[in-house]
């Protein structure tokens, strides 16, 4: 812990480029700092969730950074559980200012498990949940959404101990108070026995359809089933969270690569983006890959953007993230140069035909930990890695317009973190004591959850009762209407009734005048029994 506190005492480095351009380098001079997510906060500042390391390989901790509207740091939180390594992948925030962080505890390569952390509007720990589940070798959260009712939907990569099943992709639904509601697997071995290592990178919602974008390894049709190749994959999920279809993109055309995300083009067509890879004379080349498919999971076309389509002699390029400019044009955050590690990084403007209208390569920017958001004023803020010779990696945060011109800083004074009654201080959030889920049985499956929601749970206390009162507590009344509570004795005679209202959580019964014995409390909805509970009255 002393080491962590000393790190926080080190000079925080922020460099603004000349001419007041909107660009900052964020990090400490004695360690590696990189981003894993970027989001625009409610006050038009930014939340950067990332990670820090003393040498880039171990001693890793989560890092949450809040900046102002110009990308200058306001406060930061180091997220740690010494001596365990932590990485954070996704940060979300709700209308109340609560922050939800998805990541994984990284004890060893063989034992890493997903966790969710909730902070309030002041950046204070509210709860933490760790999925150290038996039967799973390791796992990590990859992406997440906040649902309309405030629940959280986390996309996890979690291989089972039995690797032959190749079950890897799980969704977890969690309430805003940290209660796990259900889990469900997708692209399962029982439905796709030829899949190997399916992996979801992102999840998006387009109307009544959820899309998981990622990749999977599989053989060529009628080929050697033991020789698999990496291909982009898209999973369509309906509003009941049932798998509708899986697209193993490009298999009929022998196309290889991976999908990093999806954007909706119109009411029927979606476009996945990522990288296409091919091998020629032993050399691997990656190019930007546009993948078109409809809402029924049917491929409608593709476009590969070759490096020469961008600039003469350019060898490789591929898209990390994409945002819409208008109906036909898009701004992409992309590697534009050599292969992924240490690759020159920048942006390009494309259309759906794969025409490249403009591109820019940013000095000392590299394509690792790259995230793009379209801002409140119709511009684009990007977080990527920054490295100069003989230096460690830092976070490069910059803002451009649709012409790829760097924005200038905003003048004036702004109020930040207004949902917190006091100024937020930088510090360390220690996750020691994070509540641990050890069994998948502790979290119902989606099917079990649905069955439970079709009834009203009733519990009685005290039971037996010798106090003259019984408290009946109800679950799921919000899902029913025209409800009535009736109590019967052992002879089936009704001795009590009252109306139960949607969202009602309990009813207190005065039983001092009831004869000693057993009774059955029953809730009806539209005349049908939806819940029962035995109650014993004694003296």
| pLDDT tens per residue, range 351-399 | 999 999 999 999 888 876 678 999 999 999 999 988 887 788 899 999 9
Each residue's pLDDT tens digit, 482-520: 999 999 999 999 999 999 999 999 999 999 999 999 999
At a CB cut-off of 8 Å and minimum separation 6, what does 176 contact? 94, 98, 118, 150, 151, 152
Domain ranges of the chain: 1-80+342-409, 85-186+422-453, 191-298, 455-537
**CA gap 342, 329 in Å, rounded:** 28
- State residue 339's pLDDT score: 52
- State residue 300's pLDDT score: 97
Give the length of the chain.
539
Out of 11-15, 337-341, 382-386, 524-528, pick the least confident. Answer: 11-15
Contact (CB, 8 A) for 300 and 320? no
**Of the candidates 47, 67, 65, the residue with the CA atom closest to the CA atom of residue 409:** 67
Q: Could you give the maximum distance between any two Cα atoms of the chain, in Å? A: 93
Residue-wise burial string across 50-65, b where 16 or more C-beta atoms lie within 10 A, e elsewhere? bbbbeeeeebbbbbbb
**CA gap 413, 536 in Å, rounded:** 66
**CA gap 71, 419 in Å, rounded:** 20
**Of the candidates 115, 152, 111, 112, the residue with the CA atom closest to the CA atom of residue 130:** 115
- State residue 345's pLDDT score: 87
Each residue's pLDDT tens digit, 21-61: 899 999 988 888 988 899 999 999 999 998 998 876 667 88
pLDDT at 465 over 90: yes
Specify the 3-state DSSP secondary structure of 519.
Answer: strand
- State residue 5's pLDDT score: 30
pLDDT at 109 over 70: no
pLDDT at 213 over 60: yes
At a CB cut-off of 8 Å and minimum separation 6, what does 116 contact? 100, 101, 102, 128, 129, 141, 152, 154, 174, 178
Which H/E stretch holds residue 398? strand 394-400
Residue range 85-186+422-453 forms a domain whose CATH class is mainly beta
Each residue's pLDDT tens digit, 110-146: 578 999 999 999 999 999 999 988 888 789 999 999 9
- State residue 10's pLDDT score: 45
Q: CA 19, 24, 29, 32: dihedral to nearest 10 degrees?
A: -150
Each residue's pLDDT tens digit, 393-430: 899 999 999 999 999 999 989 999 999 999 999 999 98
Contact (CB, 8 A) for 158 and 172? no
**CA gap 69, 274 in Å, rounded:** 30
Average pLDDT over residues 416-445: 91
Contact (CB, 8 A) for 345 and 332? no
H helices of 306-363, where?
307-310
Architecture in CATH of 455-537: Sandwich (2.60)
How high is the mean pLDDT of the chain? 89
Which letter does DSSP use for residue 424 in this model?
A: P
- State residue 84's pLDDT score: 75
Contact (CB, 8 A) for 318 and 286? yes
Which letter does DSSP use for residue 252 in this model?
A: G
CA distances from 201 to 79, 145, 330, 467 (A): 23, 13, 21, 56
């Amino acid at each position: 812990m002393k080491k962590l506190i000393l790190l926080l005492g080190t000079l925080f480095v922020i460099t603004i480029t000349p001419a007041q351009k909107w660009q900052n380098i964020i990090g400490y001079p004695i360690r590696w700092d990189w981003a894993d997510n970027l989001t625009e906060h409610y006050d038009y500042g930014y939340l950067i969730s990332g990670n820090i390391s003393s040498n880039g390989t171990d001693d890793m901790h989560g890092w949450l950074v809040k900046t102002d509207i110009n990308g200058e740091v306001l406060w930061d939180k180091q997220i740690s559980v010494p001596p365990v390594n932590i990485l954070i992948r996704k940060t979300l925030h709700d209308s109340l200012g609560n922050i939800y962080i998805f990541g994984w505890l990284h004890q060893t390569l063989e034992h890493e498990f997903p966790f969710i952390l909730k902070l309030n509007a002041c950046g204070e720990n509210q709860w933490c949940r760790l999925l150290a589940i038996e039967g799973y070798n390791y796992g990590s959260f990859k992406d997440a959404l906040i649902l309309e009712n405030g629940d959280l939907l986390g996309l996890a990569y979690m291989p089972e101990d039995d690797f032959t099943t190749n079950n890897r992709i799980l969704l977890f639904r969690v309430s805003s108070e940290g209660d796990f509601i259900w889990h469900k697997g997708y692209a399962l071995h029982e439905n796709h026995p030829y899949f190997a290592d399916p992996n979801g990178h992102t999840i998006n919602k387009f109307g009544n359809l959820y899309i998981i974008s990622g990749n999977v390894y599989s053989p060529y049709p009628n080929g050697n089933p033991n020789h698999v190749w990496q291909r982009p994959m898209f999973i369509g999920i309906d509003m009941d969270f049932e798998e509708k279809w899986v697209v193993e993109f490009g298999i009929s055309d022998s196309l290889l690569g991976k999908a990093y995300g999806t954007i909706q083009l119109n009411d029927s067509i979606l476009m996945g983006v990522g990288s296409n890879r091919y091998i020629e004379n032993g050399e691997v080349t990656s190019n930007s890959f546009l993948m078109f498919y409809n809402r029924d999971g049917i491929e409608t076309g593709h476009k590969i953007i070759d490096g020469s389509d961008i600039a003469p002699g350019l060898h490789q390029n591929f898209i990390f993230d994409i945002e819409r400019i208008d109906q036909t044009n898009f701004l992409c955050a992309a590697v534009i140069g050599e292969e992924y590690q240490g690759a020159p990084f920048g942006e390009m403007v494309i259309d759906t035909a794969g025409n490249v209208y403009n591109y820019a390569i940013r000095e000392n920017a590299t394509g690792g930990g790259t995230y793009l958001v379209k801002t409140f004023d119709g511009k684009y803020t990007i977080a990527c890695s920054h490295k100069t010779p003989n230096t460690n990696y830092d976070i490069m945060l910059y803002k451009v317009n649709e012409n790829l011109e760097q924005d200038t800083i905003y003048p004036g004074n702004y109020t930040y973190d207004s949902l917190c009654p006091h100024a937020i201080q930088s510090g360390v959030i220690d996750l020691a004591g994070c509540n641990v889920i050890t069994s998948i049985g502790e979290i119902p499956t989606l099917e079990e959850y649905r069955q439970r929601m079709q009834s009203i749970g009733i519990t009685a206390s005290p039971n037996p009762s010798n106090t003259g009162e019984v408290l009946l507590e109800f679950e799921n009344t919000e899902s029913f209407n025209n409800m009535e509570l009736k109590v019967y004795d052992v002879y089936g005679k009704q001795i009590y009734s009252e109306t139960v209202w949607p969202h009602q959580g309990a009813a207190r019964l005065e039983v001092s005048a009831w004869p000693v014995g057993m009774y059955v409390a029953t809730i009806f909805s539209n005349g049908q029994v939806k819940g029962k509970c035995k109650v014993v009255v004694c003296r």
